[in-house]
Structure 1
Amino acid sequence: MWGIIATWRMAHDGIVAASEQLKNSGKAGDAAETCIKMVEDYPYYKSVGYGGLPNEEGILEMDAAYMDGDTFKIGGVAGIVDVANPVSVARSLSDHKFNSFRVGNGATKFAQLEGFERKNMMTERSKKMYDLRLEEMKEKGLSAYDGHDTIGAVSLDQSGSMVAATSSSGLFMKKAGRVGDSPLSGSGFYVDSEIGGAAATGLGEDLMKGCLSYEIVRLMGEGMHPQEAADKAMYSFHHKLTKRYGKAGAFSLVAMNNKGDWGVATNVEFTFSVANDKEEPAIYIAQMGDDDKTIIEPITQEWLDAYEKRIKTPIDQLGK
């Protein structure tokens, strides 16, 4: 058996490629990295990698993490700049016993010394969106923050090994040095090959208050199906945070156990992609149900067409 699940529609092409690897006895780590690199490399996905959205100073700072569910090895980077594939840097760091989580200049310097591809990750499109947001903030007093859709993946290979990995450019217009949940173990991701794994996307400042990825894995370890575990962890904390903090930001989580069964929970409209040895790669849309159970439906072609049109809006039409 094998399987892979990842957050957002943007993961689908990567899921298709990774599923071929897993189907042909590929390794969980390679599959997760393949999936995420395809998102990092695609210029139209504005919240991850190349073409991502910058901080308030116009600098594109990226976060990523990689976790091996067999050994619990973890590598992470935060605030890395000018590197093509932060997830690959995180994976490399997971092999280091010490200094395996690097931030800012330390992360970027490590990547350069190790020969990872240097690349200006800002595009003409992302620069245009930055300039437009500056104008909106000045003229209309709009909130700076937007665009925090992390790619998070959990993979299972035929040998039973599991991996979780994440990559994100974080909040659009964030303060320099801001780090969300994506590279933080237990919040943005967690995996144990004897149980399963989970990954999160949403508002990092609120997600890290609950360590929801770890909680989902813990509940699966107690015998819960991934869907049951995801619903229980996500909705319980959503209600608790709303009561005690006053509100809860966007939360969406994907999970897969060591049998390839999967689950998803969200408090917003959320898309994801999944494949396993029983199911061909597919995109679904999820939303919060009235009874603390996530509603999951196949995506429609109409939705997909609108999505493609939106993300590929010509640069000269942005903001109009």
Structure 2
Amino acid sequence: MTYAMIGTWRMAYEGLSKGLDLLKGGGTSGDAVESAIKKVEDYPFFKSVGYGGLPNENGLVELDSAFMSGDTFGVGAVMGISDVKNPISIARSLSHEHFNSVLVGEGASQYATKNGFERKNMLTPRAKKIWEKRKAEIAEKNLSPYDGHDTVGMVSLDQTGSMSVGTSTSGLFMKKAGRTGDSALVGDGFYVDSDIGGAAATGLGEDIMKGCLCYEIVRLMGTGLSPQEACDKALYPFLRKLKKRFGKIGEFSLVALNKDGQWGVSTNVEFTFAMGTEKEAPAVYIAYPDENDKTKISPITQEWMDAYEKRIKAPID
């Protein structure tokens, strides 16, 4: 059978490439998702996930993560966990539990300690400097404190037909202590069914959770729509409805993969993602919405990749 993975943002690329190598060698979809997201969590220059993630208003890095098996519907999640190296691994461990499978705050951290997961101060000197700079800007220029909310989400299909999905994020920069978004909420930030496919979301969690869009994408794929058709049909009409009802909308981006290895993307902003299959080498693409409720997708240029690398590693003044 075929194998495939898709992940949100340029930051997914290296982890997804590692996950695809596991799948090529006969590895499981769950192992591919966990290993791919751990690679993102461990890279200190990604400001919205794991080590190097930007902190809340008090300077504490609070992490959200979730894992779901498409075979069993087992879901595990942590919200507001701190000082833990790889929240995706804890979420996956919790997905095997029938009770207490979603833990928050100090309880999640205690579970990690009791079960031997590595503890670590997740606030890097670089992230602390960005936080201090933002605090000063807020005080001096009366700026909105909130900035940045990019979740890494991965969906994988292995050679046995098993599918898994995972998410990980440090959430909204300068968020209130204890705030959580969609990333660890099943149906909102992620969903997967091995008989159909899976989806993951990234963007402003407070708005994404109003639509249960990941579940809706999987439901639509189950009616026979392709992943691309399902993504477009789930997102764009909902954006109009939300704008009409709520008056404003944040950023929304979604990725999907079905049981045949086909993929799709929808977004209301410029959005990068990584994808690879048995037949397609891992690569980064960029997506845009168009005026006809469709999504335009193009390969990323090497010039863009080079500029991205330079930007995320630029010194903090």
Mapping 1:107-186, distance limit 5 Å: 107-186=108-187
Look up the SS of the partner of 1:102 in the other structure: strand
- Deviation, structure 1 residue 278: 1.4
* Number of equivalent positions: 316
Q: Report the Cα distance in structure 2 between the residues aligned to 1:162 and 1:97, rounded to whole angstroms.
A: 20
Q: Report the Cα distance in structure 2 between the residues aligned to 1:32 and 1:123, rounded to whole angstroms.
A: 25
Look up the SS of the partner of 1:132 in the other structure: helix
Q: 1:193-236 CA distances to partner (integer Å, 9 max, x unpaired)?
A: 00000000000000000000000000000000000000110111
Tell me the residue number matched to 1:284. 285
Q: Report the Cα distance in structure 2 between the residues aligned to 1:198 and 1:236, rounded to whole angstroms.
A: 18
- Deviation, structure 1 residue 290: 1.1
For structure 1, the 5+ residue unaligned runs are none
Q: Report the Cα distance in structure 2 between the residues aligned to 1:200 and 1:134, rounded to whole angstroms.
A: 28
Q: Output the amino acid matched with 1:274.
A: M
- 2:51 corresponds to 1:65: no
- 2:303 corresponds to 1:302: yes
- Deviation, structure 1 residue 302: 1.3
Look up the SS of the partner of 1:96 in the other structure: coil
Look up the SS of the partner of 1:155 in the other structure: strand
Q: Report the Cα distance in structure 1 between the residues aligned to 2:260 and 2:212, rounded to whole angstroms.
A: 23
- 2:266 corresponds to 1:270: no
Structure 1 length normalisation: TM-score? 0.98
- Deviation, structure 1 residue 243: 1.1
Tell me the residue number matched to 1:206. 207
Tell me the residue number matched to 1:76. 77
Tell me the residue number matched to 2:38. 37
Q: Report the Cα distance in structure 1 between the residues aligned to 2:307 and 2:269, rounded to whole angstroms.
A: 18
Q: 1:144-192 CA distances to partner (integer Å, 9 max, x unpaired)?
A: 1111000000000000000010000000000000000000000000000
Tell me the residue number matched to 1:54. 55
- Deviation, structure 1 residue 56: 0.2
Look up the SS of the partner of 2:11 in the other structure: helix
Tell me the residue number matched to 2:194. 193
Q: Report the Cα distance in structure 1 between the residues aligned to 2:197 and 2:135, rounded to whole angstroms.
A: 42
Structure 2 length normalisation: TM-score? 0.99
Q: Output the amino acid matched with 2:170.
A: S
Q: Output the amino acid matched with 1:146.
A: D
Tell me the residue number matched to 1:11. 12
Look up the SS of the partner of 2:15 in the other structure: helix
Q: Report the Cα distance in structure 1 between the residues aligned to 2:115 and 2:59, rounded to whole angstroms.
A: 26
Look up the SS of the partner of 1:152 in the other structure: strand
Q: 1:244-267 CA distances to partner (integer Å, 9 max, x unpaired)?
A: 111111000000000000000000
Q: Output the amino acid matched with 1:75.
A: G
Q: Report the Cα distance in structure 1 between the residues aligned to 2:313 and 2:41, rounded to whole angstroms.
A: 16
Q: Report the Cα distance in structure 2 between the residues aligned to 1:278 and 1:289, rounded to whole angstroms.
A: 28
Look up the SS of the partner of 2:187 in the other structure: coil
Runs of 4 or more, structure 1, over 2 Å off, are none
Tell me the residue number matched to 1:102. 103
Look up the SS of the partner of 1:200 in the other structure: strand
Identity, % of aligned pairs? Answer: 64
Mapping 1:221-232, distance limit 5 Å: 221-232=222-233
For structure 2, the 5+ residue unaligned runs are none
Q: 1:1-44 CA distances to partner (integer Å, 9 max, x unpaired)?
A: 01000000000001111111101111000000011000000000
Q: Output the amino acid matched with 1:257.
A: N
Q: Output the amino acid matched with 2:98.
A: K
